[in-house]
């Protein structure tokens, strides 16, 4: 049985266990949280060392070409995701009714400081508090500075060895994914509030359909059209990482697996000499600090939030009308 089928089997058994036992599966939150924390344990050190080592191995000309190429690709992905985010509200039924007031409309939103998020005053504090954009910026600057350092080969060998060691730890933890997914699925199914899901079922269905189209058709089609890598091969090589990220609900924890899969595809189809094999080690973590396609697609929830209150007000008006009609028919 392949790893993906083991993960799906763990998911199915977990959902069945949660639905059958209900609230009795609440203690499974402990192994579920342990599994997620184990996955998170090595990701940030892996990202930091891999960015520094991969950029430090380049020349300034290659680093400049890398930035321009990655920026162009990211812009194309942003455009595709924004198109789908704007098209998603077309799947909502049209409702014309009175406005719905919410106290949240007059509440003052909390301030957000982008400088603290992206510019670290203390990189060790950013590492300790898992501030990913600040850590990535520090790693990028350190890697770029390392390009011009003489006699850097010894340091690069140490960094590559540390990255390899962290990769082995990550691969060992990933083997526990079927068990971790079982615990997560069982806990979610046993403690799920169905009423809350019903409130946003229209958005959930629309979002899932659009996300599947974007992830399994549009983006793989772009890769197949612009590179020698086929869409099917790309999905099969990254299937385990994407499935884990989907079920756990966190893309960050599978970045090491995605980097290794992309490096293998580059070595097989694009550069057999290995000169560009390490590029995903710097591109993928650096691009993670910016909004990716999934984050941009989630902006459609803002449009759903504008549609949802009108639906609530209409349902309230219908219930009030039915209650009044029932009151009048009773002869009171």
pLDDT (0 to 100) of residue 291 = 74
pLDDT (0 to 100) of residue 90 = 80
pLDDT (0 to 100) of residue 198 = 62
pLDDT (0 to 100) of residue 327 = 42
Tell me which residue has tokens 């890769």.
Answer: 223
Tell me which residue has tokens 């924890």.
Answer: 253
pLDDT (0 to 100) of residue 109 = 61
Whose CA is closest to 250, among 40, 7, 10? 40
pLDDT (0 to 100) of residue 193 = 67
CA pair distance 178, 247, nearest whole angstrom? 11
pLDDT (0 to 100) of residue 100 = 47
Please report, rounded to a whole number, the percentage of residues in the chain having pLDDT higher than 70.
81
CA pair distance 189, 22, nearest whole angstrom? 7
pLDDT (0 to 100) of residue 278 = 66
Low-confidence ranges of the chain (pLDDT < 70): 94-112, 193-200, 271-278, 308-332
Domains along the sequence of the chain with CATH:
11-326 (1.10.3860.10)
Reading phi first (left if > 0) and then psi (alpha if -120 to 50, else beta), residue 271 is in beta
Burial of 299 (0-12, 13-18, 19+ CB in 10 A): middle
pLDDT (0 to 100) of residue 245 = 81
pLDDT (0 to 100) of residue 317 = 45
pLDDT (0 to 100) of residue 110 = 64
75 touches 292 (CB < 8 A): no
pLDDT (0 to 100) of residue 232 = 86
Q: CB 207: neighbour CB atoms within 10 A?
A: 20
């Amino acid at each position: 049985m392949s790893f993906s089928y083991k993960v799906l089997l763990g998911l199915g058994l977990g959902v069945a266990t949660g639905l059958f036992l209900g609230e009795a599966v609440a203690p499974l939150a402990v192994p579920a949280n342990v599994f997620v924390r184990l996955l998170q344990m090595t990701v940030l050190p892996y990202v930091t060392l891999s960015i520094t080592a991969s950029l430090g191995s380049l020349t300034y000309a290659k680093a400049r070409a890398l930035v321009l190429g990655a920026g162009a690709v990211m812009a194309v992905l942003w455009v595709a995701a924004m198109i789908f985010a704007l098209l998603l509200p077309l799947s909502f039924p049209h409702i014309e009714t009175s406005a719905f007031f919410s106290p949240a409309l007059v509440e003052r939103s909390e301030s957000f400081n982008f400088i603290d998020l992206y510019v670290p005053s203390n990189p060790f504090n950013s590492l300790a508090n898992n501030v990913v954009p600040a850590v990535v910026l520090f790693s990028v600057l350190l890697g770029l500075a390392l390009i011009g350092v003489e006699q850097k080969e010894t340091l690069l060998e140490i960094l590559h060895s540390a990255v390899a060691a962290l990769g082995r730890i990550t691969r060992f933890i990933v083997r526990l994914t079927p068990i971790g997914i079982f615990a997560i699925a069982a806990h979610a199914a046993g403690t799920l509030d169905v009423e809350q899901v019903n409130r946003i079922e229209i958005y959930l269905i629309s979002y899932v359909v659009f996300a599947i189209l974007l992830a399994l058709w549009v983006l793989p089609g772009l890769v197949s059209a612009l590179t020698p890598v086929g869409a099917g091969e790309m999905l099969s090589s990254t299937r385990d990482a994407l499935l884990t990220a989907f079920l756990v609900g966190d893309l960050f924890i599978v970045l090491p697996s995605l980097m290794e899969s992309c490096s293998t595809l580059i070595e097989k189809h694009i550069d057999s000499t290995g000169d560009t094999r390490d590029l995903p080690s710097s591109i993928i973590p650096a691009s993670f600090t910016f909004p990716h396609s999934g984050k941009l697609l989630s902006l459609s929830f803002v449009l759903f939030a504008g549609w949802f209150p009108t639906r609530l007000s209409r349902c309230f008006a219908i219930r009030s009308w039915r209650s009044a009609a029932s009151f009048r028919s009773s002869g009171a």
